Amino acid sequence: MSVGQSTTDALPADVVMFKESRDICDHFRGEDPYDAKRAAEIARNLERHCHGTDARLAALRKKYASQPQVMSALEGYEANIE
Amino acid sequence: MPQIISSVGRNGANQKGDVRSVQDLLNRYSTRLGIAPLRVDGVAGARTVSAIERFQRQVLGMAAPDGRVDPGALTWNKLVATSAPSLSGAAWWHANQARFPNSRDIEDLDATFKPKVKRFLAAMKEAGINYEVNSTRRSKIRAYLMHYSWMIAKGNVAPEAVPIEPGCDIVWDHGNASASKVAAQQMVGLFGLVFKPSLNSRHIPGLAIDMDIAWTGTAKVKDASGSVVSIGSPCDDSNTKLHTVGASYGVVKNLKDPPHWSDTGG
């Protein structure tokens, strides 16, 4: 088991779910809509994985403010992408 | 249109009238360059030479500015051509955005990643696997324009606090916050942005490639060690055996994004 898996396994389920979603969102925020098909694919993924994540991130940071391990896992995520 | 007869700046002829013309044109960029306006006195002193160097570095994107303006040469032509401030907004977008396209050329990939991609593509071609490359390096300036249009429009950054991007002659600060936000919002609309664009894409340093892949039947493709791998259905980029072959070359599949491969899978 890798260190990354171990760290993720120890995180609360809502944090893991947030990270999965926002990581995909962050990837597609850097992609190029080079044709109509690709533009639709990016738009679909952005809507599915980015929408609502600003509020979720703020809520998680508030909920787990006293847990350094969780706060560390949430570090580096941008607060305002919507 | 202003003209100069001879060179101005470091080791230039520095005729008074020419120096005055250059100082006057540079002063239109003083905010953009982050300097106090020059005294238009016809003397090519240290501040004038420094301002020329800043202009060359920040507006022209020159890595090694020479601090000199020669008649008819690049620095002079740019000073004259863009003597009006390049304010952000719809007009700027229509006039300039096409200067910063993304690339689909393999040759534009990062020097360490490019040979790995070439070897992987050659192996697929030899095996009869069809591919079409759609995206390689993303323009850093285009990503910057999209990112900061969004940031200013949403009020996440003050226009005067946006970092300078060498080679990108845009002025974000219109003199008041409201006008700056309206102009940025125009660019957000023209770029078609719905969420904040990232500055961290693997495409920006040329470490990612997007391609459509398909074949028929069973393809026999060599991995990086020369072993032949038989790859059947599904005959597209979702095939995990193809992912393993790609990884052997150092081209790693991103499992969440069908056409996307990179140096790390990110």
| pLDDT reported for residue A8 | 56
Contact between chains at A80 and B154 (C-beta distance less than 8 A): yes
Confidence of residue B35 (pLDDT cuts 50, 70, 90): confident
Confidence of residue A4 (pLDDT cuts 50, 70, 90): very low
pTM of the model: 0.72
B100 lies in some domain? no
A80 touches chain B (CB under 8 A): yes
Of all residues in chain A, the one with the smallest CA distance to B136 is: A32
Tell me: the pLDDT tens digits for B109-155?
A: 999 999 999 999 999 999 999 999 999 999 999 999 999 999 999 99
Please give the C-alpha separations between residue B9 and each of A6, B42, B111, B138, in angstroms, as whole numbers.
61, 11, 37, 36
Contact between chains at B196 and A78 (C-beta distance less than 8 A): yes
Give the DSSP letter of residue B98. G
Same-domain pairing of B215 and B229: yes
Domain count within chain B: 3
Of all residues in chain B, the one with the smallest CA distance to A49 is: B195
Tell me: the pLDDT tens digits for A25-56?
A: 999 999 989 999 999 999 999 999 999 999 99
B128 lies in some domain? yes
| pLDDT reported for residue A3 | 34
Confidence of residue A5 (pLDDT cuts 50, 70, 90): very low
Residue B29 scores a pLDDT above 90: no
A76 touches chain B (CB under 8 A): no
Same-domain pairing of B74 and B163: no
Closest to B106 in 3D by CA, of B243, B248, B209, B253: B209
Contact between chains at A81 and B266 (C-beta distance less than 8 A): no
User: In angstroms, what separates the C-alpha of A23 from chain B's closest C-alpha?
Assistant: 10
SS3 of residue B111 by DSSP: coil
Q: Using CB atoms within 10 A of its CB, is residue B154 exposed (0-12), middle (13-18) or buried (19+)?
A: middle
Tell me: the pLDDT tens digits for B220-239?
A: 999 999 999 999 999 999 99
B256 lies in some domain? yes
Range of the domain at B53: 8-81
| pLDDT reported for residue B101 | 86
Among A31, A35, A81, select the one facing B201 at the smallest CB separation. Answer: A31
Which residue's structure tokens are 């719809």? B90
B14 lies in some domain? yes
Contact between chains at B256 and A34 (C-beta distance less than 8 A): no
| pLDDT reported for residue B47 | 95
Contact between chains at A27 and B196 (C-beta distance less than 8 A): no
User: In angstroms, what separates the C-alpha of B190 from chain A's closest C-alpha?
Assistant: 14
Residues 17 through 76 of chain B touching chain A, CB cutoff 8 Å: none
Percentage above 90 pLDDT, chain B: 77
**Bond before B115 cis per omega within 30 degrees:** no
Please list every residue in chain B whose beta carbon sits closer than 8 Å to the beta carbon of residue A35. 134
Same-domain pairing of B212 and B166: no
Which residue's structure tokens are 């060179």? B7
Closest to B236 in 3D by CA, of B257, B213, B256, B209: B213
Phi-psi region of B34 (alpha: psi -120 to 50; beta: other; left: phi over 0): left
Please list every residue in chain A whose beta carbon sits closer than 8 Å to the beta carbon of residue B205. none
Tell me: the pLDDT tens digits for B183-209?
A: 999 999 999 999 999 999 999 999 999
Closest to B165 in 3D by CA, of B60, B82, B237, B81: B60
The residue with greater pLDDT, B175 or B110, is: B110
| pLDDT reported for residue B3 | 83
Q: Using CB atoms within 10 A of its CB, is residue A55 exposed (0-12), middle (13-18) or buried (19+)?
A: exposed
Least confidently predicted of A4-13, B17-26, B74-83, B240-249: A4-13
SS3 of residue B33 by DSSP: helix
Contacts of B214 (CB under 8 A, 6+ apart): B129, B130, B235, B236
State the Cα–Cα distance between residues A71 and A28, nearest whole angstrom.
24
User: In angstroms, what separates the C-alpha of B182 from chain A's closest C-alpha?
Assistant: 18
Please give the C-alpha separations between residue B123 and each of A30, B210, B239, in angstroms, as whole numbers.
28, 17, 16
The residue-averaged pLDDT of B244-251 equals 98
Same-domain pairing of B60 and B134: no
Among B195, B200, B260, select the one facing A46 at the smallest CB separation. Answer: B195
Same-domain pairing of B112 and B219: yes
Tell me: the pLDDT tens digits for B40-67?
A: 789 999 999 999 999 999 988 899 999 9
Hey, what are B191's tokens? 């770029």
Same-domain pairing of B122 and B224: yes
CB atoms within 10 A of CB B94: 11
Q: What is the mean pLDDT of chain B?
A: 92
Percentage above 70 pLDDT, chain B: 98
Confidence of residue A6 (pLDDT cuts 50, 70, 90): very low
Chain-centre distance for alpha carbon B109: 13
Q: ipTM, 2 decimals?
A: 0.83
Residue A2 scores a pLDDT above 60: no
Same-domain pairing of B14 and B35: yes
Same-domain pairing of B66 and B186: no
The residue with greater pLDDT, A62 or A1, is: A62
E strand segments, chain B: 8-9, 68-69, 130-135, 208-214, 219-222, 228-231, 252-253, 260-262
Residue B92 scores a pLDDT above 60: yes
Same-domain pairing of B206 and B186: no
Contact between chains at A30 and B197 (C-beta distance less than 8 A): yes
Please give the C-alpha separations between residue B29 and each of B23, B40, B49, B81, in angstroms, as whole numbers.
10, 14, 14, 13
Contact between chains at A30 and B202 (C-beta distance less than 8 A): yes
Contacts of B86 (CB under 8 A, 6+ apart): B92, B96, B169, B170, B171
